[in-house]
Amino acid sequence: MKNPPLRRLITLLLALLFHPHSSAFAQTTPPRSAEYAKLQQRLARGWNTWDTHSVTDHVLLPEGFAIRVGIKPQGTEGSERFLPGALIGRQGKDEERVVPGPHAYDGSYTDLTLDWRGHKIRLQSAHAGPDLVLLATPIAFPKDSNLPSEVVFSTGMLWNRPGAITKSKSGIEARLPARTISLFLTGNDTADVNIPVTGSYFSAELKSPIGLSTGKPRSVAEIQSVLTEQERVYHQSVVRFSDRAPVADAIQTVLGWDTIYEPEKSRVISPVSRIWSVGWGGYVLFDWDTFFAATLSAVGNRDLAYANALEILRETTPQGFVPNYARSADWKSNDRSEPPVGAITLLGLYDKFHDRWLLEDSFDALLQWNRWWSQHRDRQGYLVWGSDGQNQPANLDDSTIGTRAGAILESGLDNSPMYDDATYDEKAHQLAYADVGLMGMYIADCDALARIATVLNRSAEAAELRTRAAKYRASLSTLWDADAGIFLNKDLETGKLNHRLSPTNFYPTLANAATPDQARRMIQDHLLNPQEFWGDWVIPSIARNDPAFKDQDYWRGRIWGPMNYLVYLGLRNYSSPELVSARKQVAQKSLELFLKDWRANGHVHENYNGATGSGDDVSNSDRFYHWGALLGLMALQEQEEENTPSSH
């Protein structure tokens, strides 16, 4: 087709035809079970920081009534400035800086410090029964400021929800469909009319702590009393982890701040960070990221763990796979998936909480996805990454669909040096590249799903899964290189083995596909080798002696929580003293890396520098990306094993 305008017209018509909201497009999202519907109803209630656009917004569910906290400087020059909200991790010169403090899963206590152009305040919230209390405490002002800034508590209804809000001399009143909420300010309302917000609001000078409460008037002292009690309850929720309490605190805090209410599908979910969600139009769920969020949530909140695991499964595409991403307006990557860690996640949740209905709700989607890999990513008996550009509906603003870049994105390792020279088959939309990491994860997926099938008395499916696991376990065994002492990726066009090493080369341990001797050699010769993966900070995403390590750019040398965690899970399959020791060392070194930035800055990083251990050295490491907490989770799991009598 040589006519560009005609091609664009046809592309547009196809997009309209196959858009998820088109009547021509058959939705495949499975319905929620009664148990899961009740679970989401439990989650989506009460006051919390539900709005993805600002961590200073507090929203009441199910109504969607919002209280927004903003800051307005006072003075002559620059007095028109106003900060209506805040996000964690912004990096621009004049952007706000948020140091996140504790955030209970249910929003019963939150605490953060906000620094914006020299205006620094502490903002706390707490539940008082059904009521919410907020306290803004001034910490510092710009040296050249002669006037305190103002705190602004504005109100509104989110997501087009019904409600009427009015302000009177006695306070603000929100008349909602099923109840009325009254708001009261401590101190004097300046009634500043020059504040760029819509809806009713209070404004007050931050000369001293200013509080807001719902339900009834409360003094600052009364609000502080509520805050003190809920802070005590929060710390009780983590103190049971004894010396690992900082990790439990970090996990609850990062998930607390990252969890939002997503109104398009009426659900509570935990996207990787608010900055990512805002950038993707409201929310974005990535495949393996969200499964890991479920695993992290299980430390302290069963319902949130289930919600994350089931919601990413409910994003399954018409082609039958969990997509690389699913974002607002129901756009998905219908061309590609991402690493298959779903079954091991769901089995882990079942082993922890023992709810059979969770397996019943998830099994068919997991089985469909497992079958898809062998049907669409098998090449010469091996598994490879791909991007099926012909799949509809297509996301028109994703230029990687059906390309080599799209196939690499399916790996989740966007710019990994492992794929620099891999052959790409344009006709098949595949990397012609037998991938050790993919096969290790997939075999583990088969094994976990077979166990789930057995629990559910699905004997035929269990046998099918065991057969498929055996097939790929046999294929994976051919990628063992006795001279190198490790499993190596293979270019299926040239037949050459790739000696560029990544933590994914250890993933055969995840599938129990490495013999004890092979596992021991891999760990001793490579993982514990300071020239390759060992050192002060571990495990880099490419070997230290690889030319790409010096790049320290995303998957080119930086350290990632999910890689460390999957290597750790693989080591748990082996009981020899050498491998148990290596496992414990991986957990301990990962913990040290994690706590370094958590204690210094309150950051949970997307990735960390493989040479210095810093997460703040580059702009493309999100400061509050929940899977960074996997680096601390291993220490919690080690602690749990030590405290389990059967482990001794």
Same domain flag for 404 and 532? no
**Residue 189 is encoded by which pair of tokens?**
């309302």
Place of tokens 């009780």: 236
Among candidate residues 237, 274, 221, 203, the one with its CA nearest the CA of residue 105 = 237
Contact 188/100 with Cβ under 8 angstroms?
A: no
**Model confidence band, residue 618 (pLDDT cutoffs 50, 70, 90):** very high
- Indicate whether 30 belongs to any domain: no
Q: Give CA–CA dist 291/561, Å, rounded.
A: 13
Same domain flag for 403 and 525? no
Contact 481/382 with Cβ under 8 angstroms?
A: no
Q: What is the mean pLDDT of residues 521-537?
A: 98
The b-or-e profile of 258-282 (16+ CB within 10 A means b, else e) is bbbbbbeeebbbbbbbbbbbbebeb
The b-or-e profile of 224-238 (16+ CB within 10 A means b, else e) is bebbeebbeebeebb
**Model confidence band, residue 144 (pLDDT cutoffs 50, 70, 90):** confident
- Indicate whether 267 belongs to any domain: no
Q: What is the mean pLDDT of residues 593-604?
A: 95
Q: Is 401 helix (H, G, I), strand (E, B) or coil?
A: coil
**Model confidence band, residue 11 (pLDDT cutoffs 50, 70, 90):** very low
Q: Is 101 helix (H, G, I), strand (E, B) or coil?
A: strand
Same domain flag for 129 and 53? yes
Q: Of 209, 237, 265, which residue constitutes the final position of a domain?
A: 237
Q: Give CA–CA dist 164/522, Å, rounded.
A: 65
Q: Of 208, 237, 266, which residue constitutes the final position of a domain?
A: 237
Q: Give CA–CA dist 441/479, Å, rounded.
A: 15
Q: Give CA–CA dist 306/353, Å, rounded.
A: 10
pLDDT of residue 646: 58
Q: Give CA–CA dist 87/337, Å, rounded.
A: 29
pLDDT of residue 141: 86
Residues 6 or more apart in contact with residue 403 via CB below 8 angstroms: 387, 389
The b-or-e profile of 450-484 (16+ CB within 10 A means b, else e) is bbbbeeeebeebbebbbebbeebbebbeebbeeeb
Q: Give CA–CA dist 20/27, Å, rounded.
A: 7
Q: Of 237, 269, 295, which residue constitutes the final position of a domain?
A: 237
pLDDT of residue 180: 98
DSSP secondary structure letters along 129-141: TTEEEEEEEEEE-
**Model confidence band, residue 31 (pLDDT cutoffs 50, 70, 90):** low
Would you say residue 633 has pLDDT above 70?
yes
Q: What is the mean pLDDT of residues 513-536?
A: 98
pLDDT of residue 77: 58
pLDDT of residue 145: 73
Contact 363/453 with Cβ under 8 angstroms?
A: yes
**Model confidence band, residue 563 (pLDDT cutoffs 50, 70, 90):** very high
Mean pLDDT check: name the lowest of 38-42, 201-205, 326-330: 326-330
Same domain flag for 421 and 532? no
Q: What is the mean pLDDT of residues 490-496?
A: 96
Same domain flag for 400 and 480? yes
pLDDT of residue 236: 96
DSSP secondary structure letters along 323-392: -SEEEGGGEE-TT------HHHHHHHHHHHH--HHHHHHHHHHHHHHHHHHHHHSEETTEE--B--TT-S
Q: Is 213 helix (H, G, I), strand (E, B) or coil?
A: strand
Contact 377/434 with Cβ under 8 angstroms?
A: no
Would you say residue 1 has pLDDT above 70?
no
Contact 223/191 with Cβ under 8 angstroms?
A: no
- Indicate whether 556 belongs to any domain: yes
Same domain flag for 365 and 416? yes
Q: Give CA–CA dist 627/618, Å, rounded.
A: 18
Total domains present in the chain: 3
**Model confidence band, residue 29 (pLDDT cutoffs 50, 70, 90):** low
pLDDT of residue 32: 80
State pTM to two decimals.
0.94
- Indicate whether 287 belongs to any domain: no
**Model confidence band, residue 14 (pLDDT cutoffs 50, 70, 90):** very low
pLDDT of residue 641: 86
Percent of the chain with pLDDT strictly greater than 90? 89
Among candidate residues 218, 181, 188, 225, the one with its CA nearest the CA of residue 203 = 188
Render pLDDT for 311-329 as a digit per residue (tens, 0 to 9). Answer: 999 999 999 999 999 999 9
Same domain flag for 385 and 519? no
C-alpha distances in angstroms, 144 versus 73, 93, 220? 12, 19, 29
- Indicate whether 290 belongs to any domain: no
Place of tokens 């929800």: 161
- Indicate whether 17 belongs to any domain: no
Same domain flag for 357 and 440? yes
Same domain flag for 440 and 551? no
Is pLDDT larger for residue 484 or for residue 18?
A: 484
Burial status of residue 338 (CB atoms within 10 A of its CB: 0-12, 13-18, 19 or more): buried
Show the domain range for 100.
49-237
Query: Hey, CA dihedral for 308, 114, 213, 203, is it positive or negative?
Result: negative
Q: What is the mean pLDDT of residues 181-204?
A: 95
Render pLDDT for 401-443 as a digit per residue (tens, 0 to 9). Answer: 999 999 999 999 999 999 999 999 999 999 999 999 999 999 9
Residues 6 or more apart in contact with residue 427 via CB below 8 angstroms: none
DSSP secondary structure letters along 141-169: --TT-SS--EEEEEEEE-TT---EEEEET
**Residue 141 is encoded by which pair of tokens?**
């002002």
- Indicate whether 150 belongs to any domain: yes
Same domain flag for 217 and 73? yes
Q: What is the mean pLDDT of residues 142-157?
A: 89
**Residue 104 is encoded by which pair of tokens?**
């209970």
Render pLDDT for 45-99 as a digit per residue (tens, 0 to 9). Answer: 999 999 999 999 999 999 999 999 999 988 655 555 899 999 999 998 889 999 9
Would you say residue 25 has pLDDT above 70?
no
pLDDT of residue 80: 59
pLDDT of residue 74: 83
Residues 6 or more apart in contact with residue 18 via CB below 8 angstroms: 24, 25, 392, 393, 394
User: Please, which contacts does 385-388 make with residues 24 or more away whose CB atoms are closer than 8 Å?
Assistant: 385/336, 385/410, 385/411, 385/430, 385/431, 385/433, 385/435, 385/438, 386/336, 386/410, 386/428, 386/429, 386/430, 386/431, 387/335, 387/336, 387/429, 388/319, 388/334, 388/335, 388/336, 388/429
pLDDT of residue 396: 81
pLDDT of residue 5: 40
Render pLDDT for 276-302 as a digit per residue (tens, 0 to 9). Answer: 999 999 999 999 999 999 999 999 999
* Mean of the per-residue pLDDT values of the chain: 93
Place of tokens 């398009």: 264
pLDDT of residue 645: 66
Same domain flag for 524 and 592? yes
Place of tokens 């344009």: 426
Q: Give CA–CA dist 520/576, Å, rounded.
A: 8
Same domain flag for 520 and 477? no
What is the strand order of the sheet 131-140 is part of?
97-103, 109-116, 119-128, 131-140, 210-214, 180-185, 171-175, 164-168
Q: Write out the H or E segment, with its range, that includes residue 487.
A: strand 486-487
- Indicate whether 336 belongs to any domain: no
**Model confidence band, residue 146 (pLDDT cutoffs 50, 70, 90):** confident
